Amino acid sequence: MLRSGQVDRATDALATSIDHAVPRDQAVRSGRLATARLAGKNLDGALDAANRGLTLLEGSVQSVRAVDRLKKFDGYLKPHYTEPAVGQFRERLKALPAMAA
């Protein structure tokens, strides 16, 4: 849906799927939701989703795929790197143990 330009439908579907997923899948889908929200020009919503994924990864969830999605999302944030909330997200992302590999 996101590739076809249906950002609202994509974000709604992803948000619903996150609520019904196991924690590892929530972490993975949070990165996808963050990307979809950013594509819809919703930086705050994108960061909310990305930070949700980070919180799971900082806890008991381990997922290379989730980390990879958040790293990819981080690249999309480049035009917003001067925003304080983006800086906070990036610091948390860099601090993940999986990022050291």
Residue type at 98? Answer: A
Give residue 100's pLDDT.
46
- What digits encode the pLDDT tens for the residues 57-72? 999 899 999 999 999 9
- HSE of 53, CA atoms in CB hemisphere, 13 A: 33
Which pTM was predicted?
0.87
Confidence at 1, pLDDT banded by 50, 70, 90? very low
Give residue 80's pLDDT.
97
Considering all CA atoms of the chain, what is the largest pairwise distance in Å, rounded to the nearest integer?
35
CA distance 96 to 82: 21
